[in-house]
Structure 1
């Protein structure tokens, strides 16, 4: 069939290609691939590039659509794909599909039409998984940003690095002023020609005021921070102490010298511990606050706790999962006060293996509120004055430490990875400003409590699995072979070895980390190994916990601050009373939601911490620091300062001594002419070049030695 528009095309092109109409006539009857069109339309080799450009233009102009297999068909609004926009700070983005599968890509031009988090319908453009926005089905309702008011215009710069839009403000509220941090209700989505529009609904505070950065993060990450009236009414009706009627049917363990061991600034104490030698090795009792007795399933208090999913911890502030009258009062295991609890009583042998366990409801009394620092001093110094102060619980501390040493044997035998990395702690002065950033030190008291909690969590999972109860496991899948191979290539370049082939066990990683112990780049190696791992999640399907080398694991020990633990407590009570609940799909949904709230909390905390670090560094521009290269990319080097644990970027443009090529296998930049190498883990001296609070970026330049 000849092209009826051949003469028109011949006037335009020296080597004319089939007209759009002619192409459409072939595709109307049956969809065709590019290769099929080449054959049907007798496309010569020298015409192929021009023909491909025409196909792309026809897709762009909505004459054709192209699926991910490269098959073309006449354009139709049918077959659109639904998903959620995920923006990248560099300007481009992705669409996470509702039906699952690989994310689709959105160009920076397409991202001008949407916000991060928008629900959209898109059309697939080609086999490279590029897509275009067809419809915004649900836009984000509110955004946080900095208000700019001048004579000509009023707009908000969004306080989210992933959102590049400015929002034109059409309505202010009383008290609005320039340079305030505000909440904006989005009225109209952006277009290619116009900014989005919105109105101010509330004022968070003045930029740089104390606490504004936390309030901004709460709004930005949509963290529920205010309890509703009904939930507060329910919590107000609860008693402020344990009532006699609530003790009925519970074991009285108030005589046992249970103690809480937490940080100095902790206010909610949800776990207490007690250990004593036994004929097999050790008896360990972990008593956990019985939140489920007071927070009833189906109540408004329960619904709001589920929505939060967990407490969110910021430097200097906490957004609790439960009202403080419960979290810091009625359910907190405060010293010398009777409290309701759920006990996990365990028999552990001399090699640290769990022999037996049982659960029961009890009434307890904490005989001391200890801090990690105090316990560590008691362990290190047998003549410490603290031993006299805590004479009545001294034996319990020593027994707990003996048990901990036993559990360490079990940990090593299982081959658990040691991720005892150096982490930063922000110290504040009386005015709420950062005084210093120091290393957060972990000691044997931290590890002691951690091991006790791990044993109780493992026992809870084993018990509920045996009872076939409906609950959520805490799972940590194996890393993918692809990530393992990338990590192995890096390790080989720094003379370290990871055994185990494409599917190494936890013990193989543990051996690697042991071999890295004491090296200058130890913290970097731990970071790289951590990046190899998948994220732990909540699910009703038992996939084991790779990082801890446990076949069965659940979260039981923190029901004051984690909702999955509350679900586990309820499941244990059902099992104990023989009122079992069949496994349900609802638990799948709960697992997905609670995994999301955990990530949301981590993102918000990290966001605030980075902002605070940038604020701290603002008056240090021009100063020099020692650092270690913590990341390498084609655009530059990430450097973490060794004295104050702040990370910044050296742009490749500031490495002026040579032209540098990125080597992703060896995690390094290598100079093309002089051969100078900047490698992950190398020590480097830098000068602070600039600090951008809005983008939360710190830029360094290298200092020659």
Structure 2
């Protein structure tokens, strides 16, 4: 904790800064935060009583109660949190309210509601200080839905999948919304009997328009999609970084390799054989990353907005970027043949792909080409084009280095899931034209391996320098999830042994055994679901999936705030400038980790919902069509089926599973017919008919036509139950018997 200054030090500072003589400026000057600000205020009051103290002008005063409900506002440039009152009859345009945190208080964030005790202060640029009594949650509950007009005002039909509760809109809350429009509304008044009341706050237009699909998810999940004027103004004032004290890397043949529709280019790569005779067959790798920290400095408006967003969000028709386009698409993007600021790491690896050493630098680079994965792969396969032909030697060096890294990867045994990615193809109007498997080349894997190695180097460098950082953490699966995976594996004829410390190599043996079989997708999906979710933390708990002890995100600062924190750590620890990790960054590292882990999950949910809506729109004119698929989820209310053709997930409601009563077993993830003994479980092949497709919610309702002979989920243990073939389903009993009695691998 920063010690309080003496009265003599305060008097001297006031004499040197006569126009900044209020308490907040004094606290900022001496680094006084939290509860210590109260002690500082008392010292200032004593100085004022002794010899007078010139004060900065205060804002207009208002009258606030001693206890009030407040909404937390965004942190200011110094990281201080302010609030505005929410209760009726309390002025919202009065003096500023500073939140003074006490030891043990929970972390507060923008948009939270709190009950706080207010204290009037004088001589500050705020009129009140608030001390937390208790947190009340987020701001007023909001809903996104379709407005249906009526004589009394109207109603809002929610678009949340699975929600059927409507909201009533009184006449004075319609906000000129038209019937059938997509709107955002907030709850008004207290909940009581009947429908909740709401007022429309935003009109979003035609919900059936193709461009509305991602817009729905953006608003529904609260992803900020407009930059404040102050952020835009700050970004517009940025200019290209000069060479200055940077290392000149412009002669290094770095190039970028990205998807053809890449909207930003974070990273560039270069490789060459190592000429050191002591490292025969080794390679030198360079990974250069956009120097976002030069433009987004700690405490700036850009920094606060980037931290709030946490990451960019990617949708089939648009990107909601973490940074304004002038930065993400221009000044920070490593475009070809232009000078760009970068942080680069030079890594030396041996012929087996082991990293021998690394060194970081802050430099200025010039990309020699902006290439796509397909271009690079085609060049290596013998068909270079005009862009790749001059760089063919460099590309071959990259692939030679990648071959060595593959050997190291094989020895390390990271988790090798094989889950083909489906890509939604849109036309110019934003309508889905097809759903295809995304092509995956060695060029993709090459870049991934280089980025993983650079991330490891960044983590190891900051650990060596004892610099705080954010680790990317992926903990091992829970015993319960492993048991569920083991059940599915055994039912499919495979083995995941018990009684050993789990390593990714054990899971890889299971995945390899299932490869090429009809159970491959099931085993891969179940293994993925058994994994814990990765997150950010200041503590290092390792990365289970990658089988790495030290791992941090360094390679994508344009689209991830975590990487920007790592860049600042490198800048601060190497003394490369004043834009490194700030004391506020360090003090709030835990809170930042939680915040950006949450925003990452928010983006993933929004992206997933958008995909569901696009797929529902794509399938909406095929209602009544039969599809093949596989049971991907089992709940007491029905089955989730993943369709083979599109990868879309649909629900078979329990009412349409069969005419008998089905008993749900959570432990084995099965539904068992009370009369026939039919057992339905994960991975079974099914034929379904599409009954409903609702683009506004992304919901698909399916009818179960038959269950073909495939994996039979095991009977509930200890219940003495032997499943029988169910009437009404096409079960190939011979095939089932063969699969259950096959030799275990």
TM over 0.5: yes
Distance 1:183 1:350 in 2: 58
Distance 1:174 1:653 in 2: 41
Paired residue secondary structure (1:703): strand
Distance 2:599 2:138 in 1: 21
Moved more, 653-662 or 296-305: 653-662
Q: After the TM superposition, which residues 170-181 of structure 1 pair with which residues of structure 2 at under 5 Å, given as runs?
A: 170=170, 171-172=172-173, 175-181=176-182
Match for residue 341 of structure 1? 342
Once the 2 structures are TM-superposed, how far is the Cα of residue 229 of structure 1 from its aligned partner?
A: 1.1
Moved more, 398-407 or 260-269: 398-407
Once the 2 structures are TM-superposed, how far is the Cα of residue 613 of structure 1 from its aligned partner?
A: 1.2
On the 8 A contact 2:154/2:174 being kept in 1, the answer is no
Q: Deviations over 1:374-413 (max 9, x none)?
A: 122223x22x142x54222111211111222221221121
On the 8 A contact 1:415/1:508 being kept in 2, the answer is no
Paired residue secondary structure (2:245): coil
Match for residue 224 of structure 1? 224
Paired residue secondary structure (2:507): helix
Specify every segment of 5 or more residues in structure 1 that has no aligned partner in the other structure, as ranges: 1-98, 102-116, 122-133
On the 8 A contact 2:298/2:582 being kept in 1, the answer is no
Match for residue 591 of structure 1? 593
Match for residue 654 of structure 1? 656
Match for residue 257 of structure 1? 253
Are 1:248 and 2:250 matched, yes or no? Answer: no
Distance 1:289 1:337 in 2: 13
Paired residue secondary structure (2:197): strand
Match for residue 58 of structure 1? none
Match for residue 468 of structure 1? 466
Picking from 384, 408, 411, the partner of 1:410 is 408
Match for residue 273 of structure 2? 277
Residues 1:394 and 1:232: Cα distance change in structure 2 (over 3 Å): same
Distance 2:659 2:161 in 1: 31
Residues 1:255 and 1:539: Cα distance change in structure 2 (over 3 Å): same
Q: After the TM superposition, which residues 35-54 of structure 1 pair with which residues of structure 2 at under 5 Å, given as runs?
A: none
Residues 1:190 and 1:318: Cα distance change in structure 2 (over 3 Å): same
Q: Deviations over 1:645-666 (max 9, x none)?
A: 1111222332337654445555
Once the 2 structures are TM-superposed, how far is the Cα of residue 672 of structure 1 from its aligned partner?
A: 4.7
Q: After the TM superposition, which residues 68-467 of structure 1 pair with which residues of structure 2 at under 5 Å, given as runs?
A: 139-161=139-161, 165-170=165-170, 171-172=172-173, 175-191=176-192, 193-239=193-239, 241-242=240-241, 246-278=242-274, 279=276, 280=279, 281-379=282-380, 381-382=381-382, 384-386=383-385, 389-467=387-465
Paired residue secondary structure (2:528): helix
Q: After the TM superposition, which residues 499-578 of structure 1 pair with which residues of structure 2 at under 5 Å, given as runs?
A: 499=497, 501=499, 503-577=501-575
Match for residue 476 of structure 2? 478
On the 8 A contact 2:255/2:370 being kept in 1, the answer is yes
On the 8 A contact 1:342/1:361 being kept in 2, the answer is yes
Distance 1:135 1:445 in 2: 49
Root mean square deviation of aligned Cα? 2.6
On the 8 A contact 2:214/2:317 being kept in 1, the answer is no
Could you state the TM-score of these two structures normalised by the residue count of structure 2? 0.73
Paired residue secondary structure (1:287): strand
Aligned residues: 572
Q: Deviations over 1:505-554 (max 9, x none)?
A: 12211222222221222122111111111111111000000010110000
Paired residue secondary structure (1:304): helix
Specify every segment of 5 or more residues in structure 2 that has no aligned partner in the other structure, as ranges: 1-103, 116-133, 707-729, 731-745
On the 8 A contact 2:554/2:566 being kept in 1, the answer is yes
Once the 2 structures are TM-superposed, how far is the Cα of residue 590 of structure 1 from its aligned partner?
A: 0.7
Match for residue 632 of structure 2? 630
Distance 1:322 1:338 in 2: 20
Could you state the TM-score of these two structures normalised by the residue count of structure 1? 0.77
Once the 2 structures are TM-superposed, how far is the Cα of residue 694 of structure 1 from its aligned partner?
A: 4.7
On the 8 A contact 1:613/1:646 being kept in 2, the answer is yes
Q: After the TM superposition, which residues 3-82 of structure 1 pair with which residues of structure 2 at under 5 Å, given as runs?
A: none
Q: Deviations over 1:35-84 (max 9, x none)?
A: xxxxxxxxxxxxxxxxxxxxxxxxxxxxxxxxxxxxxxxxxxxxxxxxxx
On the 8 A contact 1:139/1:189 being kept in 2, the answer is no
Moved more, 445-454 or 397-406: 397-406
